[in-house]
Structures are given as C-alpha cells and as structure tokens.
Structure 1
Amino acid sequence: MSFWEKLVHFVSQSAGNVLSGVVEAVRTLFEGDPETRRQVAFSVSLIALSAKMAKADGFVTMEEVAAFHEIFEIPEEERVNVARLYNLARQDIAGYDAYARKLKGLCSDGEEGCPLLEEVIDGLFHIAKADGSIHEKELDFLAHVAEIFGISEARFQTICARHMDMGDRDPYGVLGVSRNDDFKTIRSRYRALVAENHPDRLIARGVPKEFHAAANDRMARINAAYEAIERELKAA
C-alpha cells in the first residue's frame, strides 16, 4: 500500500473529521522520520488548502488542475488517491482558517517564521494564477492564510510581486527591496534569494522534488527582476 493509499484510508476512517484525520495520519505514519514528515506535510498542506481555495473561489478551472499536476508530477497510479484527498478536504465543513492553523503546526512544529510555510503560500499562488489572473476572493484567501501562518505583510507583498503585476513595486517588489536601496544592497539581496532557492536548500527545508517546477518559475522571476533593475540603474 502506497503512502497516498494509507493516508486516504486513515482519513476515511477518522469519523468524518477530515482535518484531524489528515494531521494525525501524517504524524502517525511518519513518526521518527522528521525529514519525510516535513515533505509530506508540505504536500498535504498544499493539496488541502488548494481545495479550500477552490471552494472559496467557487470553481476550479482546467488550468488550475494542470498547475496542480505540474507542481506535484503525480504518478498516474496515484492520481485517484490524491484526488480523493483533495475532494475530502473540499467537502469538509471545517473552514479554511481551521485548516491553515492546524497545518501551520504540522509544517512548522511551532517554529516562527518557518520557510516551509512561505513555500506553501507560493505554491498556492502558482495554482491560483494558472487561469491567467488571481481573483479577488483568491487573493483574500491567500492573505488570510499568510496572516495565520505568521507571514509578515512585507513578506506577503514580496510573494505577491512574484506572481502579480504590482505596478511601480515591480521588479523591486519581486526582490523585496526598495527603489531607494543602493545597487550593492540590491545585489546582496539577489544573491541571498539565489542561495535560498537552490534545490539543496529547498529539499533541506522540506520542499519535495516534485515542487521544483514552481520553484524554477519563481527563480526565473527573481532573475528577470534583478536583470531589469541592473539595466535601469546602468542607464540612469
């Protein structure tokens, strides 16, 4: 029996409380293996919260489904189990704020400023924008989940800028810098982002390899932002 089969079976036996079943299943199935548990917690969080985001938005587009599969590269034989978990979360009467609070604890183990939680938000943005735009209800959902996760407004705006046209905050907003910063500060920030998004660093903080397609998209935006700022400052 695969992990996904075990997880869905565990949740299905949890007396209708899908959220508690998911959290308890991940903790029970991976007790003593914190590295794998972090990766599974990330995947489960993204699946469950994307289901809740779809419910808040009111519909799921084919593009969003495609983006979901792009992130996870789910083996064909496991797609039925992942879809079952998604549907269980979507139909659960618990609100998405309850999911966000429980999943925060599952991913971070009480750690404040947990980088893995920012990766969850980034993944949700990747799915939300797949149909060409991020709708108002989706943005409200993402902002509230980020607040529950303890992600600062400044960090949330930086994530927004990677996925949305933020006007005069773009490309500076993508790097999380100010137009008043000197080039040395901007370059230092860029190098820090490159290091943070190295595949080895992503794996170390619990991001599964299957998610690297979205991480590659993020890195492309960071590179493009830095190049745009560099051209602008050289031309000044």
Structure 2
Amino acid sequence: MAIFSTFSALLQAVSGGGRATLGAILEAIRSLFAGDPETRQKVAFSVAIIALSAKMAKADGIVSPSEISAFRQILEIPPEEMRNVFRLYDIANQDIAGFEVYAARLRALCEDENGNCQLLGDVLDALFHIAKADGLVHERELAFIEEIATIFGLDEAAFTRLRERHIAGPNNPYAVLGLDDDATPGETRRRYLTLVKENHPDRLVARGVPDEFMFIASERMKAINEAYSKIAKREAA
C-alpha cells in the first residue's frame, strides 16, 4: 500500500471539526487504521517525519534549500500527493501546540503496538539527515532533536552515540559504529556484524518502515559500511 495515498483520507478526517491540529491528526490515524496496526504504524511514522521536520524548521527559524532537498530525499513524494504532504507540513508549522506534546503522543501511539518502537529511532535519524543537510547542525536544531530523543525514551548515552554518528562520523568512523577509539579489531568486527544484522532491509520492513522511507535505512547502512572500511584500512596499515 502506498502510504502517501492515505493522506487524503487523513486530511478529510480532520478538516470537519474546525482548525486541524497535530493532535487531531494522531487521533485520526488511531481511528482510521484501528483494524490495521501495520499500516497505522507506517502512517504515523510518515506523518512524524513531516510534522517534526516542520517543527524543527520553526524552532531554527531558517529553512535552507539543502534542507528542503533532504526532506524530499527522505519522502520521495509522488507529484500527485505533493499537495497533501505540504498541507500536513503547514498544519504542523501553524499548530500552536508544542512539538513536545506531539512527540509524546507519537511515542504513546507507537508503543500501543509492541511497547518498544524502534521506528522512533528512524525518525531521529531522519531529523539529523535534514538538520545536517546544509553542512552544519545548528545549536537550536541539536537542542530540538535532543529533546525529541528524550521524549522518545533515549537515555543520555544512547543520544550521545546517535549525535556522534551523525556529527563526528565523517571524521571518526568509530563513532559511527558506537565504539571507543581503542576498540580491538575483534570488537570492531563483532559490532559491525551486529549493526549489519540490525539494519538489514528485512528487519526494517518487519518493524514497519515504509518502502517510501528506505532512503534513511540505505544512508545508515552506507555510513556503517564506510566506517568499517576506514577502520579496517587503518588496522591493516
């Protein structure tokens, strides 16, 4: 099922009761897909990328062309669905409710399914991809993503690994793998194999990542492979 084709019904469901809000959208997702938890999780993930990207842009105050390009890389929006996607973006941008409220409700919606929603980590990866598209993760963007991560349930150590993977990764391949710089070759190899297994496309499909958003998964695997290759070359030198 094409996730974007659900957005029209979603917008219709929230347009009849006054001003549309992110809260109303989440309730519509919950009710419209009550009998289809897999689709519900995929739609929630899709809307999360759109809504939190809009909120991050508002928090930072600047939307660069490179960030718009990164946003569209992740979503790969079909031309016929462009209007609906950006209508959702505008709703998020204009909603007076803070992103904290939306993030907390998103976590609750996600946890309704299995109590341990790894999709929330995929959302954070997507936000970092957009934030760093202009070559720098700005202070307000970083603070925004860190607050989202806290609401999603990441502890400080987990967020540090996530941050370092995105910010220090190009210059520190160990950060990409979540290792200390003095990790042994055996430790590096085991960690690499674990990450490859965790990020295999079949695993991502099983946890509800829509096909339309496999770009983030591909970027993550590319970073993991490049990091391991760099470390292996250093060890062989």
TM-score bracket relative to the smaller structure: over 0.9
The CA deviation at 1:111 is: 5.2
Match of 1:21 among 13, 17, 24: 24
Percent identity between the two aligned chains: 52
Aligned residue type for 2:162: I
Confirm or deny: 8 A CA contact 1:14 1:21 kept in the other structure: no
Aligned to 1:234: 236
1:145 aligns with 2:162: no
> 5 Å matches for 1:119-134?
119-134=122-137
Confirm or deny: 8 A CA contact 1:72 1:210 kept in the other structure: yes
Structure 2 distance, partners of 1:167, 1:68, is: 21
Which runs of no fewer than 5 residues in structure 1 stay unpaired?
none
Aligned to 1:203: 205
Cα pair distance change 1:184/1:22, threshold 3 Å = same
Normalising by structure 2, what TM-score? 0.92
Structure 1 distance, partners of 2:58, 2:94, is: 9
Match of 1:75 among 47, 56, 78: 78
Match of 2:45 among 19, 42, 47: 42
Confirm or deny: 8 A CA contact 1:113 1:151 kept in the other structure: no
Confirm or deny: 8 A CA contact 1:112 1:150 kept in the other structure: no
Confirm or deny: 8 A CA contact 1:194 1:219 kept in the other structure: yes
Normalising by structure 1, what TM-score? 0.92
Aligned to 2:58: 55
Aligned residue type for 2:64: T
Larger deviation, residues 55-64 vs 16-25:
16-25
**Cα deviation digits, residues 137-195 of structure 1 (max 9, x gap):** 00000011001100122222222233213697x21111011223322122111111111
Structure 1 distance, partners of 2:178, 2:115, is: 20
Match of 1:94 among 97, 118, 132: 97
Corresponding residue SS for 1:87? helix
Corresponding residue SS for 2:179? coil
Cα pair distance change 1:2/1:218, threshold 3 Å = closer
Aligned residue type for 1:104: R
Number of positions where the alignment pairs a residue of Structure 1 with one of Structure 2: 234
Confirm or deny: 8 A CA contact 2:122 2:216 kept in the other structure: no
Cα pair distance change 1:153/1:42, threshold 3 Å = same
Corresponding residue SS for 2:208? coil
Aligned to 2:215: 213
Structure 2 distance, partners of 1:224, 1:218, is: 10
Structure 2 distance, partners of 1:149, 1:4, is: 24
The CA deviation at 1:197 is: 1.2
**Cα deviation digits, residues 185-214 of structure 1 (max 9, x gap):** 221111111111111111111111111122
Structure 1 distance, partners of 2:169, 2:118, is: 23
Confirm or deny: 8 A CA contact 1:108 1:117 kept in the other structure: no
Aligned to 1:177: 179
The CA deviation at 1:27 is: 0.9
Structure 2 distance, partners of 1:65, 1:179, is: 35
Aligned residue type for 2:71: F
Confirm or deny: 8 A CA contact 1:51 1:86 kept in the other structure: yes
Structure 1 distance, partners of 2:197, 2:170, is: 27
Which runs of no fewer than 5 residues in structure 2 stay unpaired?
none
Structure 1 distance, partners of 2:68, 2:110, is: 24
